[in-house]
Amino acid sequence: MTLKIDKSLAEVLEWREKSQKATGSMSQDEQIAYIRQKAQDFVRRHNLNLMAINSNGQKVPYPLMAR
């Protein structure tokens, strides 16, 4: 039996592999900072106005600043 991989899943797997290559030599804190920066860049580039929920259950603008 051959497993068929959907095109969108293949893209996600490709992104995951690229991300692992880019962050493989980083510490966990560096990886978190890198991923947060990429997310912030994406939000700015696409002019998104997202909200997040903080630990108190309040809505706050996303992207959240570094903890």
Condensed to tens digits (0 to 9), the pLDDT of residues 5-52 reads 899 999 999 989 998 999 999 999 999 999 889 888 988 899 988 888
pLDDT attached to residue 56 = 93
Count of structural domains within the chain: 1
Residue 38 Cα to chain centre, angstroms? 7
Strand (E) or helix (H) holding 41: helix 28-45
Q: Does residue 55 fall inside a structural domain?
A: yes
| Domain span holding position 35 | 29-67
Sign of the four-CA dihedral 49, 50, 54, 59 = positive
Q: Does residue 34 fall inside a structural domain?
A: yes
What are the CB-based long-range contacts (under 8 Å, 24+) for 7-10? none
pTM (two decimals): 0.59
Q: Does residue 13 fall inside a structural domain?
A: no
Position 58: which residue type? Q
Say what angle helices 7-23 and 28-45 make with each other, to 10 degrees: 130
Under the banding of pLDDT at 50, 70 and 90, the label for residue 67 is very low
Q: Does residue 15 fall inside a structural domain?
A: no
